[in-house]
Amino acid sequence: MTDYIISLLPAMLSGLQVTLEIFFLTLIFSIPLGILVAVGRLSKIKPLVAVIKFYIWVMRGTPLLLQLVFIYFGLGLPTVGIKLDRFTAAMIAFILNYAAYFAEIFRGGIESIDKGQYDAAKVLGFSQVQTFTRIILPQMVKIVLPSVGNEVITLVKDTALVYIVGLGELLREGRIASNRDSSLIPLVVVAAFYLALTAILTKIFQKIEKRFAYYQ
């Protein structure tokens, strides 16, 4: 049994690597993009607000799985002819989808900050950019941390969706081994990997939240 699990590890670890790549790349790009989208959504530029509302509506209103299929297979159809490689297609779908969710979380965070903070910043002479980066953004981070934590944990599990475009992440490696060996064990090992990842992330977010507990 132990020998069998050890024999599974090389494939599982390569699957884990793909899972982690998708996970981290999605976070690295979708969080800053989400901030920009949130700022745009809160701007007074009406056409921009309309475009962003539409984007958020589509991204949150359709399954991520459909978005993946659309970007990889749909755009790749001869009639459209935008053939992306699997990984790029998966990344585009994930980043666009998660940026939309993050944007809504950030918007809520920004809107919940007392208007008096803007007044105070203004009378002290802060520029709009300084007000955002020094006063609003740091306070927003604390407010949105629990929601971002939830999203991040959902993201770990959502990475499994990329199996649809044929990327060899954790779940796909598990299924291959499970089918090949007619065994449940590879799936249990996969579950253990996901549980470990989410446990680590939960801990990390607890730490970060604690670090922001210095003020109220």
Partner 1 sequence: MVLKVEGLYKSFNGKPVLKGVSFSLQPGEILTVIGRSGSGKTTLLRCINNLVKCDRGTIMVDGMYLCKDNPAANERELKTIYAKGPEVLQIRKRLGMVFQNFNLFPHMSVLENIIEAPINVFGVPREEALEKAERLLAMLELPDKGAAYPFELSGGQKQRVAIARACALNPLVMCLDEPTSALDPELREGIAQTIENLAAGGMGVLLITHDMVFAKRVAHRVIFMEDGEILAEGSKQEFFDNIANERIKNFIAG
Residue 192 Cα to chain centre, angstroms:
21
Q: Which is nearer to partner 1, 182 or 215 (CB)?
A: 215
Contact flag: residue 175 with partner 1 (CB under 8 A): no
Question: Closest separation between CB of residue 120 and partner 1, Å?
Answer: 4
Binding partner 1 by CB under 8 A: which of 7, 43, 62, 117? 117
146 near partner 1, rule: CB under 8 A: no
**Residue whose CB is less far from partner 1, 133 or 206:** 133
> Of 83 and 211, which CB lies nearer to partner 1 in the complex structure?
211
Dihedral, CA of residue 142, residue 148, residue 153 and residue 156, to nearest 10:
-130
Burial code (b: 16+ CB inside 10 Å, e: under 16) for 42-61 equals: eeeeeeeeeebeebbeebee
Stretch of residues binding partner 1 (CB under 8 A), selected from 14-22, 123-131, 155-163, 198-206: 123-131
211 lines the binding site for partner 1 (CB under 8 A) = no
Residue 8: partners with Cβ closer than 8 Å, 6 or more residues away: 177, 185, 186, 189
From residue 107, give the alpha-carbon distance in Å to each of 34, 40, 91, 144, 195.
9, 10, 23, 9, 30
**Site stretch for partner 1 (CB under 8 A), options 36-44, 64-72, 89-97, 111-119:** 111-119
Instruction: Answer yes or no whether residue 114 interacts with partner 1 by CB under 8 A.
Output: yes
Contact flag: residue 125 with partner 1 (CB under 8 A): yes
CA distance 110 to 39: 9
Q: CB–CB of 89/165 below 8 Å?
A: yes
In 43-77, alpha helices (H): 46-61, 64-69
Q: Does 209 bind partner 1 (CB under 8 A)?
A: no
Q: Report the interface residues with partner 1, using CB under 8 A.
A: 114, 116-117, 119-120, 122-127, 130, 134-135, 138-139, 142, 214-216
